[in-house]
Each structure stands twice: as C-alpha cells, then as structure tokens.
Chain A
Amino acid sequence: MKLNNTNTLGVLLLLTLCTALFSIFGWGKNGVIAIILILSGVKFLLVAFRFMDMYKAHRLWKLLLVGYLLSFISIVLILLK
C-alpha cells in the first residue's frame, strides 16, 4: 500500500488508538512504556516524512530527524528503567 496523506492519517489515528489502549490496559506490564514511546516515535516519523514531505529531502535531514528521535526515546527509556 503506497502511503498518501489520507492513508497516513488513517495509520496515525490507529496508532493513537493503540497508544490509548496500551496506556489503559497495559500499565504496569513490562515493556508498555517502551511500546508507548515507540508508537509515538512512529507517528513522529510519519508526520515528518509524509505530511512534511521530508522523504524528498537530502539524506542528512532524514538522518538528523531519525537520530534526534532515537536519542530522545533512548534517553527517556534509560532514565525510566
């Protein structure tokens, strides 16, 4: 399935619903914080690469975005461990 803006929104809303369900029913279970942060990270990348058209950008911009996100999620997970 090729991602266009409309199906990207569908995926984003589905991921938002999944995040909500995990946070309600998964609290206290191992790995749920990592799952919530990873789902948010995927949404972040979908907005950046699809809605903001960064898939068209120079490779360095893409690396900076992914690098920022991975750094943020990693630091948060390490601190919350």
Chain B
Amino acid sequence: MHSSIDHKDFYEPPGGILIWILIFLELITFGVALIVLIGYSREDPTAYHISRLKLNTTFGSINTVFLLTSGYFMAESLKQFKANHLPRATILLQLTLLGGLSFLLLKGFEYYEKIEHGLTLGHDTFFNFYWLLTGFHVIHVFVGLTILGSILWSLKRARTPLLLEDYEASAAFWHMCDLIWLLLFPTLYLVL
C-alpha cells in the first residue's frame, strides 16, 4: 500500500497545497466572471433570457452526467491506486478519460449547432460570455485529459513508480473541472 499522507495537516490537503491554491484561484476567476454576467443581465433581463433559451440544456445536462461519472471513476481509480491494485486503477482511469472525451465530443456538437445558427462570439453580450466561459472550461478539460493521459502512460509503461502525491494532484485537477462546470452550467444555462 502507498504511504499515507496526513491530510489533516493544513499544508497537506488531498492533492497538495499547490493544487488547492490553483483550484481556488480558478473557482474565484470563474465565479467572478459568472457574477459579472449576472450583473450585466440586470440591464436587460428579457434579452438575456431570450439568448439563454437558445442554449441546449439537454446537452448541458448530459455533459453534467458525463463529468460526474468521470469524477466517480477518477475517485475509484485513486482508491485502487492507494490499495496498490494497479490493473484496476488503470481500467478506472481509462473510464475517467472516456467520460472526459465524451464531454468534449458533445461540447463539439453543441458548438457546431451554435455556429450553424450564427450564435458566435460577438452575436451579443450573453453569447460573448457563453463562448468565453465554456471555451476556457473546455481548455481546462483538455489540460486535465492531458495530465490524466500522462498518468495513464506512467501506470502502463514507466520504469519509475508513480508517486501518490502526483496521482492525487492529477485527480484534484480533474475534479476541479467538475466543480467549475457545476457552477457554470446552472448559472449560464438555467437561471437567466
């Protein structure tokens, strides 16, 4: 079994203090952007509501399911890694990646739909926020998948053992993508 870390130590939260500083910075950045969007919407609530109705909430809900399920597999993968069940950890990590890729695929369809209808960057202020917020989130998902891909490579092929700290930090980054989406989806797609 991998050596345990005392997560009760303030400087040792699960994943490490650096990743949690990053996570909070990202949550604050996205949070402020969403609040600014809400603030702008108060100038013309009807126009923002009409624009919001053009979003595909079914796609958004399905993407929520993809990310939550992917997060579950990530948590289970880490649990198996800690128990030194590396083959199981590998399979669960692959399922995590599949969930992330499914999210990106559906997001691609959603973006295609928007572009086909002319709802691009510059269409109106709401859609400026939509493209910027979801676009930055997609970039985070790409980065997360790249990190998880490197972890998967290390599990399968690397000669030196993977450190628990690295696995936990990578998992924390992936879950961060989920946390951001759980705030972004209702604010952008549901409440305006």
- Which of B69-77, B100-108, B127-135, B150-158 touches A? B69-77
- Which of B12-20, B115-123, B136-144 touches A? B12-20
Report the interface size for chain A: residues with CB under 8 A from the other chain.
36
* A interface: dominant SS: helix
Proximity bits, B156-191, A CB within 8 Å = 1, else 0: 000000000000000110010011001101110011
- Expressed in whole angstroms, the Cα–Cα distance for A35 and B39 within the complex equals 20
Partner of B14, one of A23, A57, A72: A57
Partner of A61, one of B13, B64, B72, B182: B13
Q: Are B35 and A52 in contact (CB under 8 A)?
A: no
Residues of B within 8 A of A60 (CB): 10
Cβ of A6 < 8 Å from any Cβ of B? Answer: yes
Given A60-B10, A76-B38, also A51-B175 (CB < 8 A): yes
How many chain B residues sit at the interface, stated as a range, is 35 or more
Partner of A37, one of B13, B178, B186: B186
Residues of B within 8 A of A54 (CB): 13-14
Cβ of A47 < 8 Å from any Cβ of B? Answer: yes
Cβ of B8 < 8 Å from any Cβ of A? Answer: yes
Q: Are B14 and A44 in contact (CB under 8 A)?
A: no
Given A5-B76, A20-B61, A80-B191, also A57-B13 (CB < 8 A): yes
Q: Are A72 and B31 in contact (CB under 8 A)?
A: yes
Q: Are B186 and A40 in contact (CB under 8 A)?
A: yes
Name A48's closest neighbour in chain B (CB-CB). B179
- Expressed in whole angstroms, the Cα–Cα distance for A79 and B185 within the complex equals 17
Given A51-B71, A51-B75, also A56-B191 (CB < 8 A): no
Proximity bits, A37-72, B CB within 8 Å = 1, else 0: 101100110011011111011101100100010001
Q: Are B7 and A57 in contact (CB under 8 A)?
A: yes
Q: What 16 new A-B contacts, CB under 8 Å, besides A23-B57, A23-B190, A80-B38?
A: A16-B68, A19-B190, A37-B187, A40-B185, A44-B182, A47-B71, A47-B179, A51-B71, A52-B15, A56-B8, A58-B9, A61-B10, A68-B27, A75-B35, A76-B191, A79-B38
A-B contact pairs, 20 of them (CB 8 A): A8-B72, A13-B65, A16-B61, A37-B186, A37-B187, A39-B186, A40-B183, A40-B186, A47-B182, A51-B71, A54-B13, A58-B8, A61-B10, A68-B24, A68-B28, A68-B31, A72-B34, A76-B34, A76-B191, A80-B191
